[in-house]
Structure 1
Amino acid sequence: MMDADPRHLVEELRDNVEKSDLIKARIVLSYLGQVDKDTQKKLVNLLEQGNADFTIPLLTELIQKDRFLTTNLPEVRGVLIAKSLEQPDFLLKTIMDKVEPRELFINIASEARVDGASAILVGILANELDEKVIKEALIGLGILGFPGATNSVSEFLYSNSKPLILEAIKTLGRIGTPTAMQRLAEKMGTDHQLDILILDVFSQIQDQTSLNKLNQTIASHYAHLRNYAKAKLVRIGPKAVPMLGENLFFNDPDLQVHTLNVLGAIGDASALVPIRKLLAQEPMDANVRFAAYETLGQLPLDKGSYILARGLTDKEEHVCVAAASAIDRNLNEVLVAGVKNMVKQRDHDALKTVRAIISSQAKNLFIALIETSAFQEMAISYLTKNSAPDQRSYFQSLLQKYGYMHLAENLAPEEHKVRKRPVAVAVDDSKMILNIYKSTLYEMGFEPVLFEFPRKALEWLKNNKPGIVFTDLNMPDMTGIELISGIRGIYAREELPIVMVTTQNETQDNEDARKAGVNDITFKPFSKQSLGEVSEKYLA
Structure 2
Amino acid sequence: MSGNVNTEEFIKELHFCIKENDLVKLKALIQFFPELPEKNKIRVLFEISMAPDELAFPALIHLLKFELTQESVKKKLYYLLVDRFFNHQELINDYLLDPELKNKILLIQVAGELQISQSLPVLNEILIQETDISVLAAVIGALANINDSSSIRKVADFLYYGHEGLKIEAVKALCKMGGPSSVNLLGEAVTGETESDFFIIDQLAEIQDQYALNMLIQLLNSHCTPVRNRAIDKLVEIGSKAVPAVIENLKCEDDDSIIMTLNVLGSIGDKSAIKPVSKLLFKNPKNANIRFAAYEALEKLPSEKAAIRLAAGLEDPEKQVRIAAARAIDKNISPVLVSGIKNMISQIDESSKDIVATIIDSGADRTFEYLINSQIFSNLAVIHLAKEAHPDTREHFTNLLSAAGHDDIVEKIMIATDLKSDKKLLTVFAVDDSKMMLRIYKQKLHQMGYVPVIFEFPEKALEALENEKPDLLITDLNMPSMNGIELVKRTRKKYDEKKLPVIMITTQSDFIGQSSKNKFDAKNIKEMGIARIINKPFNDEELKKALDALLKK
TM-score by length of 1: 0.87
Which residue pairs with 1:481 in the alignment?
485
Which residue pairs with 1:503 in the alignment?
507
Which residue pairs with 2:357 in the alignment?
355
User: SS where residue 354 of structure 2 aligns?
Assistant: helix
Give the Cα separation in 1 of the matches to 2:245 and 2:75. 49
Q: Answer whether contact 1:424 1:467 (CA < 8 A) is retained.
A: yes
Could you tell which deviates more after superposition, 88-97 or 471-480?
88-97
Pairwise CA distance, 1:183: 3.5
The alpha-carbon distance between structure 1 residues 88 and 338, as it changes in their structure 2 partners (threshold 3 A), is same
Which residue pairs with 1:467 in the alignment?
471
Could you tell which deviates more after superposition, 202-211 or 329-338?
202-211
Which residue pairs with 2:126 in the alignment?
124
Pairwise CA distance, 1:518: 0.9
Residue 276 of structure 1, aligned match among 275, 278, 283? 278
Q: Answer whether contact 1:359 1:439 (CA < 8 A) is retained.
A: yes
Which residue pairs with 1:335 in the alignment?
337
Could you tell which deviates more after superposition, 457-466 or 434-443?
457-466
Give the Cα separation in 2 of the matches to 1:21 and 1:158. 50
Residue 314 of structure 1, aligned match among 301, 313, 316? 316
Give the Cα separation in 2 of the matches to 1:463 and 1:19. 84
Pairwise CA distance, 1:213: 3.6
Give the Cα separation in 2 of the matches to 1:100 and 1:54. 21
Q: How does 1:90-169 map to 2 (within 5 A)?
A: 90-98=91-99, 99-114=101-116, 116-159=118-161, 161=163, 163-169=165-171
Q: How does 1:62-77 map to 2 (within 5 A)?
A: 66-71=67-72, 74-77=75-78
Q: Deviations over 1:204-239 (max 9, x none)?
A: 445555444433333323222222233333344445
The alpha-carbon distance between structure 1 residues 125 and 504, as it changes in their structure 2 partners (threshold 3 A), is same
Could you tell which deviates more after superposition, 40-49 or 52-61?
52-61
User: SS where residue 299 of structure 1 aligns?
Assistant: coil
Q: Does 1:45 align with 2:24?
A: no
Pairwise CA distance, 1:14: 4.5
Give the Cα separation in 2 of the matches to 1:392 and 1:438. 12
Give the Cα separation in 2 of the matches to 1:417 and 1:53. 100
Which residue pairs with 1:441 in the alignment?
445
Pairwise CA distance, 1:501: 0.8
Q: Answer whether contact 1:427 1:472 (CA < 8 A) is retained.
A: yes
Unaligned 5+ segments in structure 2 are: none
User: SS where residue 228 of structure 1 aligns?
Assistant: helix
Give the Cα separation in 2 of the matches to 1:388 and 1:521. 26
Q: Answer whether contact 1:52 1:84 (CA < 8 A) is retained.
A: no
Query: Which AA in structure 2 matches 1:103?
Result: I
User: SS where residue 305 of structure 2 aligns?
Assistant: coil
Q: Answer whether contact 1:261 1:291 (CA < 8 A) is retained.
A: yes
Q: Answer whether contact 1:481 1:513 (CA < 8 A) is retained.
A: no
Give the Cα separation in 2 of the matches to 1:2 and 1:196. 50
Pairwise CA distance, 1:307: 0.7
Pairwise CA distance, 1:47: 3.0
Query: Which AA in structure 2 matches 1:332?
Result: S
The alpha-carbon distance between structure 1 residues 266 and 190, as it changes in their structure 2 partners (threshold 3 A), is closer
Give the Cα separation in 1 of the matches to 2:96 and 2:410. 83
Pairwise CA distance, 1:61: 6.3
Q: Answer whether contact 1:69 1:76 (CA < 8 A) is retained.
A: no
Query: Which AA in structure 2 matches 1:434?
Result: L
TM-score by length of 2: 0.85
Residue 220 of structure 1, aligned match among 216, 219, 222? 222
Pairwise CA distance, 1:479: 1.5
Give the Cα separation in 2 of the matches to 1:501 and 1:177. 39
Pairwise CA distance, 1:345: 2.1
Give the Cα separation in 2 of the matches to 1:34 and 1:164. 34
The alpha-carbon distance between structure 1 residues 104 and 501, as it changes in their structure 2 partners (threshold 3 A), is same
The alpha-carbon distance between structure 1 residues 67 and 453, as it changes in their structure 2 partners (threshold 3 A), is farther
Residue 381 of structure 2, aligned match among 379, 386, 395? 379
Residue 293 of structure 1, aligned match among 276, 292, 295? 295
Corresponding pairs, count: 539
The alpha-carbon distance between structure 1 residues 254 and 38, as it changes in their structure 2 partners (threshold 3 A), is closer
% same residue: 35
User: SS where residue 180 of structure 1 aligns?
Assistant: helix
Could you tell which deviates more after superposition, 199-208 or 220-229?
199-208
